Structures are given as structure tokens and as C-alpha cells.
Amino acid sequence: MITLKEALKLSAGEISELRNELEKKIFADKELGAYVEQLANLPLDKLGAGVPIAIKDNIQVKGWSVTCASKILQGYVAPYNATVVEKLLAAGLAPFGRTNMDEFAMGSTTESSYYGKTLNPLNRERVAGGSSGGSAAAVGAGLAVAALGSDTGGSIRQPAAFCGCVGLKPTYGRVSRYGLGAYSSSLDQIGPITQNVEDAAILYDIIAGHDDKDSTSADIKFESVADKLNADKKLTICVIENYINEASEEAKKALLKAVDVLKAAGHKIIYKNLENSKCDIATYYIIATAEASANLSRYDGVRYGRRAEAKNLKELYINSRSEGFGEEVKKRILLGTFVLSSGYYDAYYIKAQKARAHTKAKYEQILSECDLILMPVAPSTAYKFGELKNPLDSYLSDIYTISVNLAGLPAISVPVAKDADGLNVSAQLIAKAWDEKTLLEGALSLENSIKG
């Protein structure tokens, strides 16, 4: 598949040929489940013929349906473009198809989608990861030049790792959330999923920057990074030793080899441990579900999307939400409502916010001694459908990514090896807030060293 860097040099006619080629490949491989709507049904002509970029189904494109892969939003058409979409169009790129996702971004496998599951392009018996599984599978299968996803607790990095792509979660507030369907407003962040690190830097440059329409957008000076990356810059990289030791044997072996490669490239390696990551999981699910409970209260059968039959207003609310939301979304709304309820707010939500501040402080302390942190993206490679019987086990697949969202830091997943089954293993790099340049330089050095 042509890279984003190469695609940006194409003529209008060549871009048109590329779009036609992609359409044919997508129609020929509908079984993968990467896209939720046939491209022929989308009003692409109104958007011009820019370089095609796949868009996760929770990012608004004017005139397109946007459903967050939920039954409750069937029939809803976006009345405006998300800021990231406006930025794509201004840079000569264009939305190209809606990609599948876990319903309202709640999940780690893209199995909770109203449209059905997405398969892993590396092994179709395995999950693609989530919640941006459709975007990652599209890029991994060569059905997209690049894609946009959203990351609340690892939803860009984990599926990118499972599907063999590069996934970048920018610093919270660096990319506008205007036009993004909210799951957890203090954690959600839009970011790129690409074929390589350089493409991730290019797409990041295009979508980043302050936006007055988004109250969570940081009014901090932004400078482009893609044309300034120095892969030869020597960095101090802190390896989180206990997290690597907790990973599966093949993942551990691949990550330790990646550390050796970085050391051979001249980077200084130091080792530290982080506290039990299960505390981060508890913190994350309390905060995320509490915010989800508040955000999803707007889907009531009156204002948005699908409306159930009912005899009175109370029945309308109950029926619309009961019929419209899937089981995973219902579970998280119930949990969030519980932790925000009288008598439990202080016991759970306030404590979780204090724990979040502790997590942020842990990262700041380590990053005061190094340029980057290296740890796994997930405990293992992509697992088989139905392999994790206990829902709590699937939550653990985000065990190494959620703390980054709690701290609001930038992070990237970079493929480093294939296991015996041909499944991808990725390393996760984390940088100081607003320092995506160093993050991408370290990622590019790792990518080049692994290939070399």
C-alpha cells in the first residue's frame, strides 16, 4: 500500500485512481468488517477528491451518518464536520469511509459493535483490538492509506499493535475533540493510525492545534514536527522492567530485543518499576464510566437518533435506551451512575480522581529523569474470539495503556516483531506532555533500527 507521504505527492488523477483501487479492495473484502458503510453510499463528491483517510464512526463528517457503532444512533446524520475533518480537507486529504468500532468506544475487541465484529487482518480468528479496531484493521489490511481513531484508554495504540500498525495518541488537548462522539471527556483524544512512524507524524501535524470550538483544547503554541524529526538523536529511555516481565513470554522476548536494538543505536537505557497497574484499571473505570453515564444521558429517544414506541415520556426514555444500547454500554452506564450516586461519590469518584493525580505524578517523576518511557502495549498478542470468557479479562488488555490517558501524556505503539503465529508485538513509547517531537524521534529510531 502506498504511504501517506507518497500519496500526498500524487496528482488529482492519480488520487482518483487510488480511491477507485481502494474501493475495489474494500468491496472484495467485506468479511474483514473494517468499514461499516459502503463507500458508494457516502457523498464523497461533496468533499473533493483528496488523499483518502478512513474515519472512525464516532467522528462527524457533514452529510454522513455517524453512529458510534450503536443502534440508538441509527438514522442520525452529522450536521457539521469535526475540526479534524476540516483540517484534513484543508491539507488536501478527504474522509474515505466509516470504520467499525466498539459501541461508543467501550471495548477492547470491536466485538460490541452494532454492525458486527472486525477481524484481525494478520489472523482472522483473532480480535482486531478496540475500540478503533476498524481503523487499525483497514490500515493493517491495506484497505486505507491511513486512518483516524480515538483513544480513551488505549483505543488507538492497542488495536494498532494487534493489527501491526503504528498508533499515536497525542497529548490530551493537543487535537480538537470538537465533533467527536464523547465517551469520557477528560480522557478521549483523536489520533492517527498509520503504516509507519513518518506517516503518523505527517497526519499528526495536519490535525493538531488549538481550537476555540473545543473547551478542552489547549491554547499552547503548536509547531509542526514531521519535517524536523531527527532519528539519530540520542535519548535516555526508561524501560519499565516489571511490566515487561509481566507480559507473555513471546512479547517479553520481543520487547527485550527492542531494548537491545535501541541500546545498540546509542540510546541510554535505564530501568525502573511502576506500581501495580491494577490500581490504574480501577481508577480508569470509575472515572470513564462516570463520565460516560453523564455523556450518554443525552441519548434518550427525544433529541438524537432512534426513538422507541412508547405510551408516555418515561416509557419513551426506558424503551429507547433499553433497545438502543448494547450490553457493554448498559453495564458501563450503570457502573458510572452508581459511582456518582449519593453516598458513593466520595467513596469512589473522589478517590479515583486523587488516584489519577498520583498516577500523573508517578509519570512526571520518571520523565524528569529520562526522555521517553518504554513498556508493552498489551500483555500479549491478539487473542482468539471468545478466548476471554470473563469480561474483566478483556479489560486487562488495556492494562498498560490506560494510565497514559489518566496522565494526559502522548504515547505511540510501534511494531517490533512477529510471534510464532505471525501476530504482531509492539512496543509503547511515552513522552512528556506536549513533547510529541521527542516521542516521534524515538519511535522513528526504533522503527529504523528494527528494520535495519
Q: What residues are annotated to the active site? A: 56, 131, 155
List the one residue out of 392, 383, 388 whose CA is nearest residue 424. 383
Q: State how far the Cα of 305 lies from the Cα of 70, in Å rounded to an integer.
A: 10
Q: 3-class DSSP state for residue 289? A: helix
Instruction: Cite the beta strand spans of 74-207 per DSSP E.
Output: 93-99, 119-120, 123-127, 147-151, 166-169, 189-194
Contacts of 318 (CB under 8 A, 6+ apart): 310
Q: State how far the Cα of 389 lies from the Cα of 256, in Å rounded to an integer.
A: 30
Q: What does DSSP assign to residue 349?
A: I
Encode 41-73 in three state secondary structure.
Answer: HCCHHHHCCCEEEEEECCECCCCCECCCCCHHH
Please list the residues that pair with 271 across neighbouring strands. Answer: 239
Q: State how far the Cα of 233 lies from the Cα of 42, in Å rounded to an integer.
A: 44
Cell 471495548 belongs to residue = 107
Q: What does DSSP assign to residue 104?
A: G
**b/e map 343-378, b = 16+ CB within 10 Å:** eeeeebbeebbebbeebbebbeebbeebbbbbbbbb
Burial class (CB in 10 A: 0-12, 13-18, 19+), 263: middle
